[in-house]
Structure 1
């Protein structure tokens, strides 16, 4: 009645239930009925991928910054290529070491919860990584971080987040164009091209297929837009 959103109502209800659980443990004040209260169903939030053109523009722009050294441009392009071309998380891309050189056709990635997956690397991604490695002025030992900051330490993920923030301003992209949006784009564009959902689940390292299924909503949304724009009676 106060005009609160479904998310706010669900959050308040969760707080009330937590309060009564604490009252029960601490003061023996029981309220069994509170457990039967159900909040509103919250609509599933769809991922917001960048378009194919925007993904290409981000990678190209990252690799041609006239104000940066050539090896840093190559580094930035390689990291973004791994996010979009292999669907890696930032943490996964930055966990690579010199032992992953030269860039292999199949990359072994330890993802969330230590879940290991094998990710194929397409030639353009392998070339981006190897180009960076050939230009990097620091020794990339087998157990050393592959991607380095300007002073030689392991690259901080905040630098990549800041880079994408700067690039989206240059390219006129929305705030939703983040490094993780490149991973979303990897999945969405594969699905749109006919890739199997189970295969995408494996490539992303999702433990559950239901996590991957959110991308079907994104693709369905895109199809509706195409239909509305193209149908003569729309």
Structure 2
């Protein structure tokens, strides 16, 4: 079986299982990257060693290793595909079943500060990049959700728009004044997409599509590095973290922030609760005073008598 046949059959299988188009497209893109990286001619020839080499490849942008979180997601995608290949009878054994579990450190919020964002907005970035930063910081959307916004998604009566979020969730996003300004500018442009691309891609082989998530994320990350943000933990996704941390710091109820972020679990939203140093000091200062007991002279004399008896 050829690669294209395998990918087509796998996509049909996932669609029948009710998976979202976004999930299917993400898995397809990963497998195409595997094909390009491994140079394996047919899917039946993929080995565990090929999958290990792929997970250990350098990051396309930084040149460093992939983050544990990225490895964990990619491992699950690869295992899902190899399990399907094995259960469908296309391969004799499941090479993905032998992949080691990925140790992922406990997640923490990594928000950009308002100073970071102001510096970014005041730099010489392109207007399209500036608009993406505005939307990310004011809606909490993921970059992959931002690039897919269409004119027809926007409701001018309510100043809100629909977004297809992770897990196939369709959610109404309310636009504040900053996002409304972006919407007014986009309404005057010719394309149906807010962020159209002049190029063809695997998603849009005939053109007429939107900017791809990876391209948009890379543009923002490069702009961040140009203005001196050198902490590699701060990425495009840190704008989403900024949004969540600001809302929680201002007293927005946790379940409201969960809804705004499109999280399925409240536990995920809790990761964005940041505790400052002053709050930690204040908490410790409220502990009862427990000091070392200094023995009185009577007890000291008694203890000395026992020692010399």
Instruction: Specify the TM-score bucket, using the shorter chain as the normaliser.
Output: 0.5 to 0.7
What do you get for the CA RMSD once the two structures are aligned?
Answer: 3.1
TM-score (norm 1): 0.65
Stretches of structure 2 lacking an aligned partner (at least 5 in a row): 1-67, 73-102, 200-207, 282-309
The Cα of 1:153 is off from its aligned counterpart by 4.0
SS of the residue 2:237 aligns to: helix
Please tell me whether the aligned partners of residues 111 and 238 of structure 2 are also in contact (alpha carbons under 8 angstroms).
yes
Counterpart for residue 198 of structure 1: 255
Higher relative contact order at CA 8 Å, sep ≥6: structure 1 or structure 2? 1
The yes-or-no answer on 1:110 pairing with 2:164 is yes
The yes-or-no answer on 1:169 pairing with 2:169 is no
Please tell me whether the aligned partners of residues 155 and 161 of structure 2 are also in contact (alpha carbons under 8 angstroms).
no
Distance 1:203 1:169, change over 3 A: same
The Cα of 1:118 is off from its aligned counterpart by 1.9
For 1:94 and 1:42, the matched residues in 2 are separated by 28
Alignment size in residue pairs: 175
Please tell me whether the aligned partners of residues 78 and 129 of structure 1 are also in contact (alpha carbons under 8 angstroms).
no
Please tell me whether the aligned partners of residues 77 and 128 of structure 1 are also in contact (alpha carbons under 8 angstroms).
no
Counterpart for residue 134 of structure 2: 81
Stretches of structure 1 lacking an aligned partner (at least 5 in a row): 1-6, 12-40, 66-72, 229-234
Aligned pairs for 1:1-234 within 5 A: 44-61=106-123, 64-65=124-125, 73-101=126-154, 105-134=159-188, 136=189, 139-141=190-192, 145-150=193-198, 153-173=209-229, 174-216=231-273, 219-220=274-275, 223-224=276-277
Runs of 4+ off more than 6 Å: none
The Cα of 1:215 is off from its aligned counterpart by 1.1
Larger Rg: 1 or 2?
2
The Cα of 1:100 is off from its aligned counterpart by 3.0
TM-score (norm 2): 0.50
Please tell me whether the aligned partners of residues 164 and 177 of structure 1 are also in contact (alpha carbons under 8 angstroms).
no
The Cα of 1:159 is off from its aligned counterpart by 2.2
Distance 1:82 1:159, change over 3 A: same
Distance 1:113 1:153, change over 3 A: closer
